Amino acid sequence: MVKGLFITFEGPEGAGKTSVIQKLAAELTEQEYPILLTREPGGIAIAEQIRHVILDCDNTEMDARTEALLYAAARRQHLVERVIPALKENKIVLCDRFIDSSLAYQGYARGIGVEDVLSINEFATEKMLPSLTIYFDIEPEAGLKRIAANNNREINRLDQEKLDFHYKVKEGYDLVKEKYGERIRVVDASMDFESVCNQAREVLISYFSKHGF
Ligand SMILES: Nc1ncnc2c1ncn2[C@@H]1O[C@H](COP(=O)(O)OP(=O)(O)OP(=O)(O)O)[C@@H](O)[C@H]1O
Ligand SMILES: Cc1cn([C@H]2C[C@H](O)[C@@H](COP(=O)(O)O)O2)c(=O)[nH]c1=O
């Protein structure tokens, strides 16, 4: 039986998801919450290899459906190998991106269709969804500026898409928020780092206490 909490973090490029989750995961672990921090695509060896194929290839001509299938394949392996076993051990799994990224990026921004991308992902996940998603809300240009200002961050194939694409990603997320509003909480990610951490921490702690943690 699956017992823990499965919580995901979503948003456009450079919204601050990774930085905020890393800080909060360290704090919450210190406070003895049973946290597992992981990411998509990746988190385990096979999925990290798939990440490399999707994001680090020189081939800018990767077919949109191939891309969608690769994300779904990485998701499947990560779910069965890492997420589900941790949930069975009653852990709180914090995952940097999940299915909503596929719906926004591949389904909407690439133009494959949100319903088609949902359907291959339902096959991959056997319809498993997170119970809570924290959405980092920021204008695409502001997020991209943050990435450009950080010389240490790798720039991947999707970061390099035109600004238009990133605006479509945001529109895709708007559809996702309409469709799954009951599990999605929005934080204002345009604020300074400490304020964004405070907003996300508040959502998490109140969710944990409502769910027996
Ligand atoms: N609130 C903030 N204000 C200013 N800069 C920030 C803020 N949060 C994060 N940053 C910086 O912005 C950059 C992008 O942050 P981060 O990698 O955490 O974003 P992300 O949402 O995980 O991006 P991506 O999904 O594209 O990997 C980093 O250089 C980080 O230090
Ligand atoms: C899970 C997932 C991710 N993406 C995109 C979003 C980002 O451009 C990269 C992941 O890089 P990050 O630095 O770890 O955020 O992949 C996507 O298009 N579809 C997905 O399902």
Closest listed residue to residue 179, CA positions, set 115, 98, 123: 115
- Its pTM stands at 0.98
DSSP bridge pairs for 5: 92
C-alpha 116 – ligand 2 centre gap (Å): 18
User: Does the annotation place 16 within a ligand binding site?
Assistant: yes
Atom of ligand 2 nearest to the CA of 102: 21
The SS3 of residue 84 is helix
Q: How many residues would you count in the chain?
A: 213
- Determine if ligand 2 sits within 6 Å of the CB of residue 8: no
The SS3 of residue 34 is coil
Going residue by residue through the chain (213 aa), what tens digit of pLDDT does each one get? 678 999 999 999 999 999 999 999 999 999 999 999 999 999 999 999 999 999 987 656 899 999 999 999 999 999 999 999 999 999 999 999 999 999 999 999 999 999 999 999 999 999 999 999 999 999 999 999 999 998 888 888 888 899 999 999 999 999 999 999 999 999 999 999 999 999 999 999 999 999 999
DSSP bridge pairs for 6: 93
Rounded to 5, what percent of the chain is helix, strand, coil? Answer: 55, 15, 30
The per-residue pLDDT for range 134-150, each reduced to its tens digit, is 999 999 999 999 999 98
- Cα 193 to chain centroid distance, Å, stands at 18
- Give the C-alpha separation, 17 to 36, whole Å: 15
Cβ-proximal residues to 124 (8 Å cutoff; 6+ apart), any chain: 72, 73, 75, 76, 79
The per-residue pLDDT for range 174-199, each reduced to its tens digit, is 999 999 999 999 999 999 999 999 99
Atom of ligand 2 nearest to the CA of 41: 1
Interface ipTM: 0.99
- Determine if ligand 2 sits within 6 Å of the CB of residue 105: yes
Ligand 1 first shell, C-beta below 6 A: 11, 13-19, 146-147, 150, 153, 192-193, 196
For 48, 73, 82, 169, the CA distances from 66, given in Å and listed in that order, are 17, 10, 24, 18
Of 95, 98, 146, 159, the one to substitute when testing ligand 1's pocket (max ligand atoms within 8 A of C-beta) is 146
